Amino acid sequence: MKNITVGFLLSILIIFAGAHQANAQNTKELLAGNVLNGAVTGSLAGLATMGLTNNSDFAPLRIGLGAGILAGTGIAAIDIASAPADDDFYINGTFNSGSNSSVIILLDTVYGAGGGAVIGTAIRLIQDKPIVQGLQYGSSVGAWTGLGFGLIDAFFLADREPGQLASKMLNRSSVIEVAHGNYEVGFLQPQLTSYTDFSDKGLTREFEPTVGVINFRTSF
């Protein structure tokens, strides 16, 4: 626990130390994006652990979520320290690209889980057995495989490029985005919803974090 706390504090120090290089907008976007992606990736890893152990105890999910938030903070520190001062941060991975490093890890984890589910289902069909266990164990193994490859992909295989390409292709607000021509569909978009609350205490402005499931955009 002491080592985890020290590592987290060091990540915070690196973030503030690197903030002079990255502009303020980059700093906020890189921090928020990496923490969110880290939380989702950690949760997926926790669910995969539950699937592998065939256990309904939610402890792995809780630990995965917490570890993912800490990992996302550390990755944000690395991104901020390496971000250009006058341009956007952009990373080009093996299978996908993004505006922060953790999105490469997250998408590789998702791809791994999906591929593992397909393979596990195919094996159970060949064996003429119920496919539920094939989905469970296949997606779990695939998620951990994808997570491992995602770490290698993000920090050893990926190219970090100037943000001019990102500004044209990745005004990215969703965790997963698919673009074709002038059309773009985004999935899992973090949002901050505001509304006016009338109550006995008077008129107040309330803010509530939400997640949009599907976002569709087009340009003419």
Mean pLDDT of the chain: 76
Return the pLDDT at 202.
Answer: 63
**Is 189 found in the same domain as 167?**
no
Return the pLDDT at 220.
Answer: 44
Residue 112 has pLDDT above 70, yes or no: yes
**Is 209 found in the same domain as 121?**
no
- Percent of the chain with pLDDT strictly greater than 70: 60
Q: What does the pLDDT look like over 132-189, one tens digit per residue?
A: 989 999 999 999 999 999 999 999 888 876 554 444 444 455 555 555 555 666 655 6
Return the pLDDT at 216.
Answer: 60
Q: Does 178 reside within a domain? A: no
Domain of 111, in residue numbers: 2-172
Q: Does 89 reside within a domain? A: yes
**Is 129 found in the same domain as 78?**
yes
Nearest 10 degrees: Cα torsion 148, 151, 157, 161: 150
Return the pLDDT at 188.
Answer: 58
Total domain count for the chain?
2
Residue 9 has pLDDT above 60, yes or no: no
Q: What is the mean pLDDT of residues 34-43?
A: 94
Q: Does 177 reside within a domain? A: no
What's the per-residue H, E or C state across the chain? CHHHHHHHHHHHHHHHHHCCCCCHHHHHHHHHHHHHHHHHHHHHHHHHHHHHHCCCCCHHHHHHHHHHHHHHHHHHHHHHHHCCCCCCEEEECCCCEECCHHHHHHHHHHHHHHHHHHHHHHHHHHCCCCCHHHHHHHHHHHHHHHHHHHHHHHHHHCEEEECHHHHHHCCCCCCEEEEECCEEEEEEEEEEEEEEEEECCEEEEEEEEEEEEEEEEECC
**Is 58 found in the same domain as 117?**
yes
Strands 159-162 and 183-199: unpaired
**Is 189 found in the same domain as 97?**
no
Return the pLDDT at 166.
Answer: 44
**Is 212 found in the same domain as 131?**
no
Q: What is the mean pLDDT of residues 23-29?
A: 69
Residues 6+ apart with CB under 8 A from 110: 44, 143, 146, 176
**Is 213 found in the same domain as 111?**
no
Residues 6+ apart with CB under 8 A from 204: 196, 197
16: confidence class by pLDDT, cuts 50, 70, 90: very low
**Is 92 found in the same domain as 27?**
yes
Residue 78 has pLDDT above 70, yes or no: yes
Residues 6+ apart with CB under 8 A from 132: none
**Is 101 found in the same domain as 47?**
yes
Among the listed residues 62, 40, 66, the one whose alpha carbon sits nearest the alpha carbon of residue 50: 62
Q: Does 97 reside within a domain? A: yes
Phi-psi region for residue 188, left (φ > 0), alpha (ψ -120 to 50) or beta?
left
Return the pLDDT at 107.
Answer: 92
Q: What is the mean pLDDT of residues 38-60?
A: 93
Q: Does 136 reside within a domain? A: yes
**Is 136 found in the same domain as 37?**
yes
Let me know: does 35 contact 76? Beta carbons within 8 Å.
yes
Residue 54 has pLDDT above 50, yes or no: yes
**Is 94 found in the same domain as 45?**
yes
Q: What is the mean pLDDT of residues 183-207?
A: 61
Q: Which two tokens stand for residue 37?
A: 């992606």
Q: Does 192 reside within a domain? A: yes
Q: Tell me which of 4 and 211 has the higher pLDDT.
A: 211
Q: What does the pLDDT look like over 114-124, one tens digit per residue?
A: 999 999 999 99
Q: Does 68 reside within a domain? A: yes
**Is 119 found in the same domain as 211?**
no
Residue 62 has pLDDT above 90, yes or no: yes
Lowest average pLDDT, out of 36-40, 48-52, 125-129, 184-188, goes to: 184-188
